[in-house]
Structure 1
Amino acid sequence: MEWVADERELKDAGAEALGGGRIGFRIRGWEIESRKGHILNSSSLRLWEEKLQTSHFPEMVFGESFLVLKHVNSGVKIHFNAFDALSGWKQDALPPVEVPAAAKWKFRCNPTDQVILDYDYTFTTPYCGSVDIEKSSEPGRGSPEESACDPQWEDCQEKIDLAALSSKEQILFYDEIILYEDELSDNGVSLLTVKVRVMPTGWFLLLRFWLRVDGVLMRLRDTRMHCTFKENSEPIILRECCWREVAFKTLGSKGYPTESAAYSDPGVISGRLPIIKHKTQKLITGKIL
């Protein structure tokens, strides 16, 4: 559920609502917008099948939902959507998670069908967000030549100061958007969401892929981004990607519960999942924003 500060609070922070039925606002040179759309209908799903060359999709795909953070003058746009996330899933093509024989039948639409799971039905994605340059012909927004350099993520030693972000700073805007979800035929959950909050000093977001295959394994792939608003200089945009994974039997060997009900909130139990990949990067735009 989105939350936006009142008009006076936005004005005091130098922000203004987007208006025109759009959810979000402008602040310190950024336009931040979110949208929650309906689940893909059959005609849209057929179009996605053609584009992605697959007939496999999560039970609920919110194809019109998105989060966009755009720096107006430079055209640098950071955005999150289900199509790009599923493109990453398709390209990654992980092997399907093996499940016990009894549970495997539950993934079949008809128990009499001899269905072989030859694709990643968990829809695990390596997606960490999309970044590009949105060219503008408006005066004062820079020429296409000035914006021709694609932004790149480069590894860095700097880290997001999560302790500072936990301080009680005024929140001007908050929203959580579901991009896709699947209950794995009542055998767990596969969920991709993005949350954003904007403060007077900057914005922070969390893209989270959460997978629990009951009795088998759990995956948590978190992407955090943080931008501090800067005056007359290039803003520092950091991205931290952390992938965690553990098998239920491993949890049991360490004395942790193995009942699925004990693992409904990934934010609470993330510390029990070993880190298998971690990196921090900085967005390099090649120009002053």
Structure 2
Amino acid sequence: MHATFSLPTGFCRNFFFHNCSKLSDLANAAHQALKYTLRKLGIHSFRAIINIHTFARNLDWNPHIHCIFTLGGYDKKNKWKNIKYLPYIVLKKSWQKCVLDIITDFSKINNNQVFKNKISLCYQKYKNGFYVNSEKRINNIFKIAKYIGRYLARPAIAKYRITSITNSNVTFWYQKPDSNKKIYLTLSISQFIGRLLAHIHLEDFKMIQRYGLYSRRHKKKKPKRFNLFKYKISWAQRIFKTFKVNPLICPKCHSNLTLLEIYHIKYGIIFPKSGFS
């Protein structure tokens, strides 16, 4: 399933603009919100790939999270459990709390009373939590690959959206999520470059993070079912596994047999390989 975790305009977005190093914590917040919500449904282990975006369609600063996760997972007894729905109110409120906890910790360290007051206002203003859109279910592996490719390697703006460049201005178009109508926006060169530069991340910043069963640290904890093809078996073992007959034992005298030759009706002798190309 694909979900988008957003922040309200104003205080929250501005905080992460001036404290870009906290964007990694934003990815962890989305994971913690999902984890808390799925625990309510009896899911204790699930898969998630999280990608951090900072740009809106018009290149404004809009930090948000794109997340692809399994609509189900393993329960306490390590049995897979599917779920049919997500409690959106729980997810939105847990997302809100995890985000505001980041700012709360920052305000405590820096003894910033202004931040503390604004955090209280956020809880009062957004009583139903921060916005989360998770209506897109993906049941096809090709669609999953398409989504991953689209959101993991997406630039702030594609070249084809730029319609005009002059010595002083740049014109490009964008579309709102709920409309196919193109909206044209003209910015000065300095404004356009300034918006682009805002979305260049710090060195060694990881835009993509994996959690749960997708995490590298979780490899040793995976159930045995993930090791189905870990050990290769011979052709004789495969025949015995399927037909319960050992092809290397003579059915009459029960003595051991030695493979001398394999003949194919179309290609002739294919074993041993001498003279066969």
TM-score, normalised on structure 2? 0.26
Q: Whose Rg is larger?
A: 2
Which is strand-richer, 1 or 2? 1
Which is helix-richer, 1 or 2? 2
